[in-house]
Amino acid sequence: MDQHYTLDDLTALMARLRDPDLGCPWDLAQDFSTIVAHTLEEAYEVADAIERKDYPHLKDELGDLLFQVVFYAQLGREQGHFDLSAIIDNLVRKLLRRHPHVFPGGTLESARAPGDVPEQSEINATWERIKAAERAGGPERKPDPSILADIPAALPAMVRSEKVQKRAAGVGFDWTSVDQVFAKLEEESAEIRGALQHGNADAVEDEVGDLFFVCVNLARYLKVNPEKALRRANRKFEQRFRLMEQSLSGQGADFPSQDEAQLDSLWRQAKAKLLEQQNTPAGADTLGLREDTDKYNP
């Protein structure tokens, strides 16, 4: 029977890769900052496998992501900051602390009485109190009492925007109806037009940013993950565009040779073909992201 490797084997492998005499030159050359890009890439590959429901591939991608954690743990051990055991201990303590409705005694052995399930509003309020206490920090950490504290500045802009808005909404700073969000979208769109008319490039950038912010707010208000929705729209565009490329290639033509009407016709044909492949009526949009118009203006 083939050997079944464990987490201990993985940590031993990582230590060998970083061994000054016996290790891998590439792994030895890395530090905390140089592998950040790889960590982000692996996280996105996990998300992609999940969205494609490619579970055999997901197992592989989760392994790659786990390797990133083990790599950081090895670097931390070498520099005397922490090791994998300390990471796990800190995580378990934090989860116990943040889930008093599951572990009322703050230990793995503690449990609430059967049927004694708190209201979700109570759970949310407790969660916010705990997070606020964590944000206040300990003696080794400079206190920051803001509700917006500890949201990493390095997050992708859309992800950070959603987190900022959720925090603000959590303390009551939020829209009271979706109509208000739509009105704000129209307002920001008009302000972009105004900035364009004045030829102010900096103002255009500022107003476009405001429009993106409101779009994220709309998604949050409708309980839609904006990052996931945009990836979905990207896939839809890519599928249609590839069909357009195939159609033009079959005709011995290319994009520059087509006028606007021809490109619009190709776009409509690609959309119809995809809908047909998905066994969906032509009036529906299987991705739930129907455009205001079928026309795509390149």
Kindly state whether residue 284 falls inside one of the protein's structural domains. no
Task: Judge whether 63 and 73 are in contact, CB under 8 Å.
Answer: no
Supply angle C-alpha 32, 38, 43, rounded to 5. 115
Kindly state whether residue 89 falls inside one of the protein's structural domains. no
Asked if residue 75 and residue 5 are part of one domain, the reply reads: yes
pLDDT of residue 22: 97
Asked if residue 9 and residue 77 are part of one domain, the reply reads: yes
Asked if residue 73 and residue 23 are part of one domain, the reply reads: yes
What is the span of the domain harbouring residue 107? 94-112+123-135
Q: Does the pLDDT at position 286 exceed 60?
A: no
pLDDT of residue 128: 80
Asked if residue 71 and residue 5 are part of one domain, the reply reads: yes
pLDDT of residue 127: 85
Instruction: Grade residue 287 by pLDDT with cuts at 50, 70 and 90.
Output: very low
Instruction: Name which of 46-50, 98-102, 124-128 the model is least confident about.
Output: 124-128
Asked if residue 71 and residue 1 are part of one domain, the reply reads: yes
Task: Judge whether 248 and 255 are in contact, CB under 8 Å.
Answer: yes
pLDDT of residue 139: 53
Rounding to the nearest 10 degrees, give the CA dihedral for residues 242, 248, 251, 256. -160
Instruction: Grade residue 144 by pLDDT with cuts at 50, 70 and 90.
Output: confident
Asked if residue 244 and residue 171 are part of one domain, the reply reads: no
Q: Which two tokens stand for residue 220?
A: 């949050």
Give the amino acid at 219: A
Q: Could you give the C-alpha distances from 128 to 9, 222, 224, in angstroms and in order?
A: 38, 22, 22
**187/204 Cα distance (integer angstroms):** 14
Rounded average pLDDT over 259-265: 94
Asked if residue 217 and residue 233 are part of one domain, the reply reads: no
Give pLDDT tens digits for 182-207. 999 999 999 999 999 999 999 999 99
Kindly state whether residue 20 falls inside one of the protein's structural domains. yes
Kindly state whether residue 282 falls inside one of the protein's structural domains. no
Asked if residue 262 and residue 190 are part of one domain, the reply reads: no
Kindly state whether residue 117 falls inside one of the protein's structural domains. no
Asked if residue 184 and residue 238 are part of one domain, the reply reads: no
Asked if residue 68 and residue 2 are part of one domain, the reply reads: yes
CATH number of the domain that residue 71 is part of: 1.10.287.1080
pLDDT of residue 141: 60
Kindly state whether residue 239 falls inside one of the protein's structural domains. yes
Asked if residue 66 and residue 6 are part of one domain, the reply reads: yes
As a whole-number percent, the residues of the chain with pLDDT over 70 amount to 90
pLDDT of residue 10: 98
Give pLDDT tens digits for 13-70. 999 999 999 999 999 999 999 999 899 999 999 998 998 899 999 999 999 999 999 9
Instruction: Name which of 48-52, 207-211, 217-221 the model is least confident about.
Output: 48-52
Rounded average pLDDT over 148-158: 87
Task: Judge whether 135 and 149 are in contact, CB under 8 Å.
Answer: yes
Asked if residue 39 and residue 5 are part of one domain, the reply reads: yes
Domains contained in the chain, number: 4
Kindly state whether residue 50 falls inside one of the protein's structural domains. yes
Q: Does the pLDDT at position 289 exceed 60?
A: no
**98/190 Cα distance (integer angstroms):** 44
Kindly state whether residue 175 falls inside one of the protein's structural domains. yes
Q: Could you give the C-alpha distances from 200 to 196, 206, 208, 212, 213, in angstroms and in order?
A: 6, 10, 12, 18, 20
Task: Judge whether 184 and 196 are in contact, CB under 8 Å.
Answer: no
**165/216 Cα distance (integer angstroms):** 9
Q: Does the pLDDT at position 135 exceed 50?
A: yes
